[in-house]
Amino acid sequence: MDWMAVAAELAEDFRQQAQRADRSWKLVAEQVTRLAASGLYRELVKAERAERFDYLELMSSACGVTTFVSSQHESACRRVAGTPLESEFLPEWTSGRRLAGICFAHVRRPRVDVEAWLEGDRLRFRGTAPWFTGWGLMQDVVVAGTTADGDFLFAVSELDRVKAGPIQSLCAMQASNTVALELDLDLPAERLLARVTRQQLAGKDMANIVANSARSLGVTRAALGLLPEPELSDQYAKLRERARDWDGGQDGLEIRARAVRLGLLAAQASLVASGGRGNSLDHPAQRLVREAMFYSVTQLTRELGQTTIATLLRACCD
């Protein structure tokens, strides 16, 4: 299976529908279901990092909200792969027979939103997780909470065990059906995916921080198509190479911050180049501006936030 060719065909279809999808959860759900049925998730789970980067950039350049929702499922698949729960959940998830989301962004915050603990042969989670994307489409969730000693427990649960808040009103990704989840879970201890220390989470976060540069670079790629002159093309190509080939060095935060800045700059330039038409909800420029903004706060650790702010302010003063 030439899975990147399949992805390219789907991306082109999604690109044609991106303005509609930006305002239609029904269309987003249909497109995510198409992705699941295509077999791409089976390939993404075993793909190399550079291949996943290419895929994420391609899809982000086509339709931000569809890619954002589908990435939740991909992340869940990769979380369960290689664990004792793989045989129970991964075949169902990668085939698209069941879809899963993730609910653990809150563990990066200083406050404890969700408590987690082992109680005999039971695994408990209690609290309010502020963000879950894909409500109404997903059947399962990878959830995380904080233990009394500051570690994090990750587990799999069916979504019919939790209660969701109202659909959140968002400036970008409104059609993602993002909600808060009220958790009072009592799961078999066998549902435990991992116990992770804060240091281990930070190490994994850095790899994901750089990988998610592909989202901002996808916006840049789309915005370049709306600009009359390819003035940012060289910057885009050089930064893309650095992000795609990142080897775990100390420049991870800088790469991501530069990608955020380039995405914001390219999207804003595409809006100006489009003139008054760019302010129409039917025009891609305004959508790209909002998506670029969203990616500036996605997976935002304290260190990434500080680096991004400094990068943006330096650019302002140049």
Q: Do 142 and 211 reside in the same domain of the chain? A: no
Question: pLDDT (tens digit, 9 = 90+) per residue, 53-73?
Answer: 999 999 999 999 999 999 999
Question: pLDDT (tens digit, 9 = 90+) per residue, 193-249?
Answer: 999 999 898 888 888 999 999 999 999 999 999 998 878 999 999 999 999 999 988
Task: Report pLDDT for 230.
Answer: 77
Task: Report pLDDT for 1.
Answer: 72
* DSSP code for 47: -
Q: Do 58 and 82 reside in the same domain of the chain? A: yes
Q: Do 225 and 282 reside in the same domain of the chain? A: yes
Which CATH number belongs to the domain containing residue 157 in this structure?
A: 2.40.110.10
Which CATH number belongs to the domain containing residue 226 in this structure?
A: 1.20.140.10
Residue-range definition of the domain harbouring residue 24:
3-95
Q: Which of 42, 72, 95 is the last residue of a domain?
A: 95
Q: Do 79 and 148 reside in the same domain of the chain? A: no
Q: Do 205 and 296 reside in the same domain of the chain? A: yes
pTM of the predicted structure, to 2 decimals: 0.95
Q: Which of 78, 95, 112 is the last residue of a domain?
A: 95
Number of structural domains in the chain: 3
N-terminal to C-terminal alpha carbon distance within the chain: 48
Q: Among the residues of the chain, which ranges form H helices?
A: 3-16, 18-21, 25-37, 40-46, 49-62, 64-80, 86-95, 198-211, 213-224, 233-244, 252-274, 284-295, 302-317
> CA 25, 278, 284: angle at the middle one, nearest 5?
40
> CA 204, 174, 228: angle at the middle one, nearest 5?
85
Q: Which of 165, 196, 227 is the last residue of a domain?
A: 196
Task: Report pLDDT for 110.
Answer: 85
Task: Report pLDDT for 169.
Answer: 97
Task: Report pLDDT for 318.
Answer: 59
CA distance 64 to 241: 21
> CA 304, 309, 314: angle at the middle one, nearest 5?
125
Q: Do 248 and 207 reside in the same domain of the chain? A: yes
CB 200 within 8 A of CB 212: no
- Render 203-256 in DSSP notation, one character per residue: HHHHHHHHHTHHHHHHHHHHHHTT-SS-TTHHHHHHHHHHHHT--S-TTHHHHH
Q: Do 149 and 73 reside in the same domain of the chain? A: no
Task: Report pLDDT for 229.
Answer: 82
Phi, psi of 100 (to 5 degrees): -130, 150
Q: Do 210 and 124 reside in the same domain of the chain? A: no
Q: Do 51 and 138 reside in the same domain of the chain? A: no
Q: Do 280 and 253 reside in the same domain of the chain? A: yes
Q: Do 274 and 215 reside in the same domain of the chain? A: yes
Q: Do 78 and 107 reside in the same domain of the chain? A: no
Which CATH number belongs to the domain containing residue 17 in this structure?
A: 1.10.540
Q: Which residue stretches of the chain have pLDDT < 70?
A: 316-318
Task: Report pLDDT for 317.
Answer: 64
